[in-house]
């Protein structure tokens, strides 16, 4: 039985060979350019792992310590590389442990292909050992999924899986493969998928709609752009920058859109949303034309929809027709790829500066700086703040690090205060808000971009949800930097309890272990900082380290993250304290 692999530069294998289904799976991955996959073996996927062992010089498998860690690591890999991330698990609990990461990838438009083993086809539906209907379970949280019961189906299904995962608006795909399909034989030939009937991933750019959008923008006195991750996924950073600069439009970003344009750009006015910046939130209800690009009007961005930008004409640039008019009714919808649409828009725009309008953003930023930002990054109180930790990381990384944040107060602080000079630098769980995301996602990010500094910013709560992935870091010598901002609380929940539940801190205070000792148990160097005078040297040492490094910073227990838009309130009701 031959084991020649497909030429990576070609779409079709050079010859047909008789091989097993499990070998075909590995051949398909190699043909798709997969160099790393994350997973955890088990009985129903064991034939594939056996073949993987034979191809270990061509494709690396990273053994995570939990299948959820495999999914998140594949997400981190995909988010920083722009490639499809791959995760693999066995049937039953192995497959169900992937679901959180799959759901996270679905709502954040991350391209994943997840391969799960399944019991033999004659056992399907019999409640066999470690059998679950993972296709049924994952249907609501995948872009597409499929169960394979015959070896001959494997090449076509996997080719389709990779095409669907990465095309148009990306997303996760799950392929469930029965054990008999893995053992069965087929005449192997691999051809990359170039299209699927009735599936059009990228709508044709509507030039008439682009023209209408340009007319609205050119006539606007107070235009405002909000961009999202669609800019990054569509590789449209330069086109967005050109549009903003030519038309002189103040522009803000959603959490997942952060880093598409450098933080320091003079027309970058900050983050919108529940814990976003004061000016862009307030000016949403002052602008006369709101231009949304590659964002989906998430509820954390819009607040109360009945009061959201009612005075403005809405222009929505969007690749997914399902998102248009779903939450916010548009005046002009421009369907299509962000790069193509913005390229068509640019020559139609008039040059402008909107100096007086932009000054209003500057004035509101000055208010926020005085009442919030300065106290966060230049505190005078005794206890350490999360903001000053991020400031120190910016100093040492010079704004070039990829920041991978978990979910909670530290996430909002990391997104607000990180300096981003390079695109694809803010990797976080946006729509699903998955605690435990950051540590494994940072592993995947660092492996995808070994020349970049990757810093995970995590709270003491989320850290303990996937802390076992320190073993993956140690075994694979992944030089990721881990910062735990420890306030001994589930901080964001505690903040809500303080503000809206009369300080009834029900089940949010945490008694934590010795995190540094745990890190050292995994042979990872670590340090604990409790005083301000220790912080700068500790961060400097961490960034300078060539190996993995763990830094615990003990911050104020009851600090809150402001500004804040209360749940269900208008963006204009944003609170500074």
- d(CA 279, CA 304) in angstroms, rounded, equals 18
- pLDDT one-digit tens code per residue, 52-66: 999 999 999 999 999
CA distances from 83 to 59, 164, 368 (A): 15, 13, 38
Residue 12: pLDDT above 70?
no
DSSP for residue 178: E
- The distance from CA 156 to its chain's CA centroid, rounded to whole angstroms, is 28
- pLDDT one-digit tens code per residue, 381-417: 999 999 999 999 999 999 999 999 999 999 999 999 9
Confidence band for 11, pLDDT divided at 50, 70 and 90: low
Phi, psi of 118, deg, nearest 5: -145, 155
Domains of the chain: residue spans and CATH: 2-188 (3.40.50.970), 207-361 (3.40.50.1220), 382-554 (3.40.50.970)
Q: Residue 14 has what pLDDT?
A: 56
Residue 435 annotated as catalytic: no
The structure tokens listed for 400 are 């070039």
Between residues 322 and 7, the one the model is more confident about: 322
Q: Residue 3 has what pLDDT?
A: 42
Mark residue 19 as left, alpha or beta (left: phi above 0; alpha: psi -120 to 50; beta: remaining). beta
Which residue among 17, 46, 58, 130 is the active-site one? 130
Helix (H) or strand (E) holding 76: helix 67-81
Q: Are 390 and 376 in contact (CB under 8 A)?
A: no
Which residue among 143, 179, 391, 424 is the active-site one? 179
Which residue among 23, 67, 237, 419 is the active-site one? 67
Q: What is the mean pLDDT of the chain?
A: 96
The pLDDT of 470-490, averaged and rounded, is: 98
Residue 1: pLDDT above 80?
no
Residue 70: pLDDT above 80?
yes
Helix (H) or strand (E) holding 316: strand 313-318
The pLDDT of 338-362, averaged and rounded, is: 98
- pLDDT one-digit tens code per residue, 214-225: 999 999 999 999
Comparing C-alpha atoms, which of 236, 99, 81, 105 is closest to residue 170? 105
Residue 129 annotated as catalytic: yes
Contacts with 416 (C-beta within 8 Å, 6 or more apart), sequence order: 270, 271, 275, 276, 277, 387
Residue 500 annotated as catalytic: no
Which residue among 4, 129, 311, 381 is the active-site one? 129
Q: Which residue has the tokens 């075994």?
A: 475
Q: Residue 5 has what pLDDT?
A: 44
> Which is it for the CA torsion 386, 387, 390, 391, positive or negative?
negative
The structure tokens listed for 128 are 């066999």
Q: Residue 16 has what pLDDT?
A: 80
Which residue among 492, 495, 515, 564 is the active-site one? 492
- pLDDT one-digit tens code per residue, 269-301: 999 999 999 999 999 999 999 999 999 999 999
Residue 309: pLDDT above 50?
yes
Confidence band for 151, pLDDT divided at 50, 70 and 90: very high
Residue 284: other Cβ atoms inside 10 A: 26
Q: Which residue has the tokens 């299904």?
A: 157
Residue 179 annotated as catalytic: yes
Q: Are 54 and 111 in contact (CB under 8 A)?
A: no
Residue 556: other Cβ atoms inside 10 A: 15
Residue 67 annotated as catalytic: yes
Residue 528: pLDDT above 60?
yes
The pLDDT of 17-37, averaged and rounded, is: 97
């Amino acid at each position: 039985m031959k084991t020649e692999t497909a030429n990576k530069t070609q779409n079709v294998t050079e010859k047909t060979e008789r091989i097993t289904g499990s070998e075909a799976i590995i051949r398909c991955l190699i043909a798709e350019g997969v160099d790393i996959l994350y997973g955890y073996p088990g009985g129903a996927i064991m034939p594939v792992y056996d073949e993987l062992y034979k191809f270990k010089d061509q494709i690396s498998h990273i053994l995570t310590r939990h299948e959820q860690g495999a999914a998140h690591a594949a997400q981190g890999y995909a988010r920083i590389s722009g490639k499809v991330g791959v995760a693999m698990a066995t049937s039953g609990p192995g497959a169900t442990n992937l679901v959180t990461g799959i759901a996270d990838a679905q709502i954040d438009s991350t391209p994943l292909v997840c391969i799960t083993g399944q019991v033999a086809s004659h056992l399907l539906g019999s409640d066999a050992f470690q059998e679950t209907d993972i296709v049924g379970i994952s249907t609501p949280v995948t872009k597409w999924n499929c169960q394979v019961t015959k070896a001959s189906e494997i090449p076509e299904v996997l080719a389709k899986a990779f095409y669907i995962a990465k095309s148009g608006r990306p997303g996760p795909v799950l392929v469930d493969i029965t054990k008999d399909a893995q053992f069965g034989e087929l005449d192997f030939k691999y051809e990359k998928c170039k299209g699927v009937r009735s599936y059009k991933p990228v709508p044709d750019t509507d030039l008439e709609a682009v023209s209408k959008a340009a007319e609205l923008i050119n006539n606007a006195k107070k235009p405002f752009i909000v961009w999202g991750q669609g800019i990054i996924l569509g590789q449209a950073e330069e086109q967005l920058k050109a549009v903003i600069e030519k038309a002189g439009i103040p522009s803000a970003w959603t959490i997942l859109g952060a880093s598409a344009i450098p933080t320091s750009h003079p027309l970058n006015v900050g983050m919108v949303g529940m814990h976003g910046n004061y000016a862009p939130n307030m000016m949403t209800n002052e602008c006369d034309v709101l231009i949304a690009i590659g964002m989906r009007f998430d509820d954390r961005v819009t607040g109360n929809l009945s009061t959201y930008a009612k005075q403005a004409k809405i222009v929505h640039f969007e690749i997914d027709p399902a998102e248009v008019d779903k939450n916010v009714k548009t005046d002009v919808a421009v369907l299509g790829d962000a790069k193509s649409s913005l390229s068509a828009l640019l020559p139609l725009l008039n040059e402008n500066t909107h100096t007086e309008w932009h000054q209003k953003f500057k004035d509101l930023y000055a208010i926020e700086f005085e009442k919030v930002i300065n106290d966060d990054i230049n505190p005078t109180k005794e206890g350490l703040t999360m903001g000053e930790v991020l400031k120190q990381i910016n100093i040492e990384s010079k704004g070039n690090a990829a920041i991978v944040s978990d979910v909670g107060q530290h996430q909002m602080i990391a997104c607000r205060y990180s300096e981003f000079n390079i695109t694809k630098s803010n990797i976080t769980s946006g729509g699903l808000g998955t605690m435990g995301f950051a540590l494994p996602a940072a592993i995947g990010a660092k492996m995808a971009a070994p020349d970049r500094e990757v810093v995970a910013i995590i709270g003491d709560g989320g850290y303990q949800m996937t802390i076992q992935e320190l073993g993956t870091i140690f075994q694979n010598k992944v030089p990721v930097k881990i910062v735990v901002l420890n306030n001994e609380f589930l901080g964001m929940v505690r903040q809500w309890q303080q503000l809206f539940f009369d300080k009834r801190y029900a089940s949010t205070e945490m008694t934590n272990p010795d995190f540094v000792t745990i890190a050292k148990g995994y042979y990872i160097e670590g340090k604990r900082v409790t005083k301000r005078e220790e912080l700068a040297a500790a961060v400097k040492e961490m960034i300078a380290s060539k190996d993995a490094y763990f830094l615990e910073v003990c911050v104020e227990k009851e600090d809150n993250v402001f500004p804040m838009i209360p749940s269900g309130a208008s963006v204009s009701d944003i609170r500074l304290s």
